[in-house]
Structure 1
C-alpha cells in the first residue's frame, strides 16, 4: 500500500474529490498551507506530489483530528536499521486516549521518512508527549545527538484536519 501527498491552495485541492470520486482524500491545514493525503495502490494522481510506501499501519486515518508528521532524513546505509527499530518497537501509542492512526512512510524518492500520527485533538497529542509511554518510545530525546544514520535533524510538521463534507 502507498501513501501520496501534495501541497497547494485549498481552492485548487478541493476540486480533487470531484475529479477522483473513488479516492478518499484527507485535507489538512498548517497555518496558510493545505496538504492533501490519500492511500492506495498504483500510480499517484498528483503531478507534483510525494509518494511513500506504507511500512507500518495502525488505526484508520479520519477526516477530523490533529496530525503530526515527524520528517526524518535517513542515510541510505541506515535505512534498514531505522526501519527495523520501528518494527521492533512496542505499539504503546495505539493505546493512548485520542489515538486515531499511525503510519511509517518510506519515501519512493529521496531519504526523508515520515512518522505520522493522527489524534482526535491537539490536546490528546500533548497528553501523549507528557506520558511515560512517550518517554519510553523516545528514550534519550532532548538535545541528544541524532543517530549517525540521520542525514539531518528531524523536523516536525503538524496539521489540523479540514472536513470537506
Structure 2
C-alpha cells in the first residue's frame, strides 16, 4: 500500500476530489499551508506529490482530528535499523486516549521518512507527548545526539484536519 501527499492552496486542492471520486482524500492545514493525503495503490494522482510505502499501518485515518508528522532523514544503510526500531516500539501509542492512526512512511524517492500520528485533538497528542509511554518510546532522550543513521536533524509538522467541501 502507498501513501501520497501534496501541498498547495486550499482553493486549488479542493478541486482534486471531483476528478477522483473513488479516492478518499484527507485535507489538513498548518497555518496558511494546506496538505492533502490519501492511501491506495497505483499511480499518484498529484502532479507534484510525494509517494511513500506504508511500512507500518495502525488505526484508521479520520476526516477530523490533529495530525503530527515527524520528518526524519535516514541514510540508506540505516533504513533497516530505523524501521526495525519502530516495529519494536509502536504499540505503546495505540493505547493512548484520542489515538486514531499511526503510519510509518518510507519515501519512494529521497531519504526523509514520515512518522505520522493522528489524534482526536491536539490536547490528546499533548497528553501522549507528556506520558510515560512517550518517554519510554523515545528513551534516547533529547540530550543524546541523534542516531548515526540520521542524515539531518528531524523536524515536526502538525496539522488540523479540515473539510474539503
Give the TM bin, normalised by the shorter chain. over 0.9
* Distance in 2 between residues matched to 1:90 and 1:19, nearest whole Å: 36
Matches within 5 A, 1:27-38: 27-38=27-38
TM-score scaled to structure 2, two decimals? 0.98
Number of the residue aligned with 1:150 = 150
Question: Deviations for 1:67-112, whole angstroms, at most 9, x for unmatched residues?
Answer: 0000000001101110111112250100000000000000000000
Number of the residue aligned with 1:4 = 4
Matches within 5 A, 1:16-165: 16-165=16-165
CA RMSD for the aligned pairs?
0.8
* Matched residue count: 165
* Distance in 1 between residues matched to 2:75 and 2:102, nearest whole Å: 23
Secondary structure, in 3 states, of the residue corresponding to 1:92? helix
Question: Deviations for 1:8-62, whole angstroms, at most 9, x for unmatched residues?
Answer: 0000000111110000000000001000000000110011010000000000000
TM-score scaled to structure 1, two decimals? 0.98
* Distance in 1 between residues matched to 2:50 and 2:8, nearest whole Å: 13
Gapped regions of structure 2 (runs ≥ 5): none
* Distance in 2 between residues matched to 1:143 and 1:8, nearest whole Å: 36
Runs of 4 or more above 4 Å deviation: none
Secondary structure, in 3 states, of the residue corresponding to 1:134? helix
